[in-house]
Structures are given as structure tokens and as C-alpha cells.
């Protein structure tokens, strides 16, 4: 046995009833928002062929795979669901009607050092739009994120969505930094995404290190790092070539977000690039305004992912929204719900002689769609009342020898204490 045979593997969670009620509360919001935006739910296996996830841009997510070999197959627990969904879109591309609006709430696995807001598994709400190239898709997704935060009770000022565009950055670097080697751009993005974690100097070192695969000259690296500090879209646009599509897309996106009434909740932030290699256009992350936690959610456009899996070119945009960080933010704000076991009635037989009658009472209540606990064993009435109170049950049904003799069940309203009688069903 392990050191702690009764504990789950490190970084993973058991869900006791109170934990599961919270999870269902979160998932309920995810589903309600997805439904509100007309999205359909999908899912894929937690276990996939490893090659679905392996890419060569130096992403952490690839280094942190839970992977193994079984009967000559390399398999991996999904670290994210996007490649699986891409696989599903590719497999039925001819039969699907685009644009697709798909959501999912997969459990995902990453083997990594644990920090606040990050375990080795989490559930991640995903919303993705497939087949729509315009920024109207990004706007819908960002609006859905805010609808969810609002539903959960967060204040308008609690969370900001920070937006940038890889397309804009790529166009800005196209004629200078990337001129001779445009193919290093995804790896460059993976490196600069580490800015928050390791700081500007370390990012600069990564960018110039020839062994890292990008190998910029010092001047180019300086330019890239300084670009990341921009917080004004106008400034960023000035540095891009005239007519840059990344610039006009961002401008149109912010305009649309105004129609959603979100202008005060979204900001341009050039330091947002996302750590996955496959993003190609607009990228965004939601942060608590105090920036005390990791990103609440992150997403962006990934128009070429399906092609890299051997499928047809299909524009796509989506986000992932984990269950762990949002739960911490809600806890910090005192917004976690008080969930309670839902129970309508408790049915109690004094002893074996009355059990059959109690069963018939419980069956009748359940036929009327009530949630009914049939007390097992022969506990004392006092304990039964205490437990029934604690469980939030509204009524207690009691059958003792006297009740049985009269063919009646005693019904006690646990709120008012009022007592009535009804016939025991035959």
C-alpha cells in the first residue's frame, strides 16, 4: 500500500457529497450559459492516442502529459479537449452543418508542480465555434464568459477580460524578426507566454538562445519583449504594417463587445499570447481584477489546428474555463453557495414489524416524485428527528406499533411541528 492508502493520488480530488454539490452548481452555470448561447454539448474519451497531443513548440502541456504504453499503443490522458474536438469535427466534416457551436465540460490531466489554483486534474468548461472566420465568434464567446461570471454572483468590476491578437503580433514581426524564419512564430509565442511566470529578462534569454529553437538576435528579442508591455491598442496598431488584419479584427471585436455592453470589462493587453502553439488570431484571458489568481479562463482563435491533424482547413475559436480557479475566486468573495441535500421526506419504522408498511409509504411518496429517505436499521426516534432536521427534509413519516394497528402513518411537519395522520397504503 502507498504511504496513504486512503488518499487519492497526489493532485487529484475526491468529491464528497458537499464537493459534488458545488461541482454540480458550477456545471449547472456552465450548461445554462452554453444553452443560453445555443451551444450543444459534446464529449470525447479521457484517454486518447498520445500523438493527438504531441507538438514540437516546447509547450508545457506536452511536457506534462500523463502518458503510457499499453499493448503497443502510446496513450495519454487528455490535457485539454480541443484536439479531441478537432478530431471529431474532422471525422464528420462532410455531415456537419457549420458553424458548429459546441461546448463540453471534460476532466483534463496535467502532471505538474502544484500551486494555488492548479491541481493535476481539473474540469474545464469549453465553448468552441467551428466554421466562422469573423470576430463575431470571439465576441459571442467573451460575452458567454461574462454571462457566466454574472450568474455566479461576481460583481461587474471583479473580473476583466484581457485581449490581444497573435495575428497582429505576427504581422508586426513579419518583415523584421520573422523575415527569414516565419516558422518559429508558434515557438516564439510559447516562450513569451512565460512572461508572467519568469519575467522579461528570462524571456529575452529564451528568445535569443539558439538551442531553444527560436534564436533571435538581441535587438529583435528586445523589440518583442517591449511589445508585450503595450496596453494601448492604438500604440500596437502604430507598430504594425498599414492594413494589418490583426489590427482591424481587434478594432471590430472591441466595437462588437460594445454592442454587448462590455466595453468597461475588456482591455487590450499585448502580454496575452496563450501558451498553446496552435492559436493563430485573437487571444484572450479573464483575470480577477486584483490579479491574485491565475487566469480564470483563456481562449483564442486556432484556424489551423484541424489541418495539422490531417483534416480540412476550418476556422475555429474557443476557450477553456477551469473549475478550480473560479471556485477560489468565489470563495475569496464569499460567493460559494450554501448547498444542501435535497430531501422531501424521511420515513421511519419503529421495528421490523412496521417495516413493510414503511416501505409502502415510501413507495407511494416516491411515485409522487418526492425525494424520500427510508430509515434503515432501528435507530432511536430522537436521532431520526435530528438527522431529518439536518438533512433539510420537510416531513417525517413515523410508523410504530400503534400506528400500524390503526393502519395510519403519523406525519410530522419538521418546520411547524404540526402532526397529522394518513392511511398506510395497501
String marking each residue 1-40 x if it binds its own copies according to CB under 8 A: xx--xxxxx--xxxxxx--xx-xx----------xxxx-x
Minimum Å gap between C-beta 239 and its own copies is 27
Say what the alpha-carbon torsion angle 381, 382, 384, 387 is, to the nearest 10 degrees.
180
- Say if residues 272 and 227 touch (Cβ distance below 8 Å): no
The C-alpha atoms of residue 407 and residue 352 are separated, in whole angstroms, by: 16
- Judged by CB under 8 A, the residue of 335, 355, 385, 407 near its own copies is 355
Applying CB under 8 A, does 41 fall inside the site for its own copies? yes
Q: In Å, how far are 22, 293, 344, 347 from 158, measured between CA atoms?
A: 21, 12, 37, 46
Applying CB under 8 A, does 193 fall inside the site for its own copies? no
- Say if residues 141 and 129 touch (Cβ distance below 8 Å): yes
Q: Give just the sign of the alpha carbon dihedral 186, 189, 194, 200.
A: positive
Applying CB under 8 A, does 132 fall inside the site for its own copies? yes
Name residues contacting its own copies, limited to 325-354 (CB under 8 A): 341-343, 346
Minimum Å gap between C-beta 17 and its own copies is 4
Name residues contacting its own copies, limited to 287-326 (CB under 8 A): 309-311
Applying CB under 8 A, does 118 fall inside the site for its own copies? no
Applying CB under 8 A, does 153 fall inside the site for its own copies? no
Minimum Å gap between C-beta 255 and its own copies is 8
Phi, psi (rounded to 5 degrees) for 301: -95, 135
- Judged by CB under 8 A, the residue of 80, 174, 371, 411 near its own copies is 371
Applying CB under 8 A, does 97 fall inside the site for its own copies? yes
Strand, coil or helix: what is 400?
A: coil
Applying CB under 8 A, does 102 fall inside the site for its own copies? yes
- Judged by CB under 8 A, the residue of 57, 79, 110, 121 near its own copies is 121
Strand partners, 268: 163
Nearer to its own copies, 135 or 269 (CB): 135
Applying CB under 8 A, does 70 fall inside the site for its own copies? yes
Could you identify the residue written with the cell 402532526? 419
Applying CB under 8 A, does 148 fall inside the site for its own copies? no
Phi, psi (rounded to 5 degrees) for 19: -70, -40
Applying CB under 8 A, does 377 fall inside the site for its own copies? yes
| Radius of gyration, alpha carbons of the chain | 28
Smallest CA-to-CA distance from 394 within 338, 342, 340 is with 342
Applying CB under 8 A, does 382 fall inside the site for its own copies? no
Amino acid at each position: 500500500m502507498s504511504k496513504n492508502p486512503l488518499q487519492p493520488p497526489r493532485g487529484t480530488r475526491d468529491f464528497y457529497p458537499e464537493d459534488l454539490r458545488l461541482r454540480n452548481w458550477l456545471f449547472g452555470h456552465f450548461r445554462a450559459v452554453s444553452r443560453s448561447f445555443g451551444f450543444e454539448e459534446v464529449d470525447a474519451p479521457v484517454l486518447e492516442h498520445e500523438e493527438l497531443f504531441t507538438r514540437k513548440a516546447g509547450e508545457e502541456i506536452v511536457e506534462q502529459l500523463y502518458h503510457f504504453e499499453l499493448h503497443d499503443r502510446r496513450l495519454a490522458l487528455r490535457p485539454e479537449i480541443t484536439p479531441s474536438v478537432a478530431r471529431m469535427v474532422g471525422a464528420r466534416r462532410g455531415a456537419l452543418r457549420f458553424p458548429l457551436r459546441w461546448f463540453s465540460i471534460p476532466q483534463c490531466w496535467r502532471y505538474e508542480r502544484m500551486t494555488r489554483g492548479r491541481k493535476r486534474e481539473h474540469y474545464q468548461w469549453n465553448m468552441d465555434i467551428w466554421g466562422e472566420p469573423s470576430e463575431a465568434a470571439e465576441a459571442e464567446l467573451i460575452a458567454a464568459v461574462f454571462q457566466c461570471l454574472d450568474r455566479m454572483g461576481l460583481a461587474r468590476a471583479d473580473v476583466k477580460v484581457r485581449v490581444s491578437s497573435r495575428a497582429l503580433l505576427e504581422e508586426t514581426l513579419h518583415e523584421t524578426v520573422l523575415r527569414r524564419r516565419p516558422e518559429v512564430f508558434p515557438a516564439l509565442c510559447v516562450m513569451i507566454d512565460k512572461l508572467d511566470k519568469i519575467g522579461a529578462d528570462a524571456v529575452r534569454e529564451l528568445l535569443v538562445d539558439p538551442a531553444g529553437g527560436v534564436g533571435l538576435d538581441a535587438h529583435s528579442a528586445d523589440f518583442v519583449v517591449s511589445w508585450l508591455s503595450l496596453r494601448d491598442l492604438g500604440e500596437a496598431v502604430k507598430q504594425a504594417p498599414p492594413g494589418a488584419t490583426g489590427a482591424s479584427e481587434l478594432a471590430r471585436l472591441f466595437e462588437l463587445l460594445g454592442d454587448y455592453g462590455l466595453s468597461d470589462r475588456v482591455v487590450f493587453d499585448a502580454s496575452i499570447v496563450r501558451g498553446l502553439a496552435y492559436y493563430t488570431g485573437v487571444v484572450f484571458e479573464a483575470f480577477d481584477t486584483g490579479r491574485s489568481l491565475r487566469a480564470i479562463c483563456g481562449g483564442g482563435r486556432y484556424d489551423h489546428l484541424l489541418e495539422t491533424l490531417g483534416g480540412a482547413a476550418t476556422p475555429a475559436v474557443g476557450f477553456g474555463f477551469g473549475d478550480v480557479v473560479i471556485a477560489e475566486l468565489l470563495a475569496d468573495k464569499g460567493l460559494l453557495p450554501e448547498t444542501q441535500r435535497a430531501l422531501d421526506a424521511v420515513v421511519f419504522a419503529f421495528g421490523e414489524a412496521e417495516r413493510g408498511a414503511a416501505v409502502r409509504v415510501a413507495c407511494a411518496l416516491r411515485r409522487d416524485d418526492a425525494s424520500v429517505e427510508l430509515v434503515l436499521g432501528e435507530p432511536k426516534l430522537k436521532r431520526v428527528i435530528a438527522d431529518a432536521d439536518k438533512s433539510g427534509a420537510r416531513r417525517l413519516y413515523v410508523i410504530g406499533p400503534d400506528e400500524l394497528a390503526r393502519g395510519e402513518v403519523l406525519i410530522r411537519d419538521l418546520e411547524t411541528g404540526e402532526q397529522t395522520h394518513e392511511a398506510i397504503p395497501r
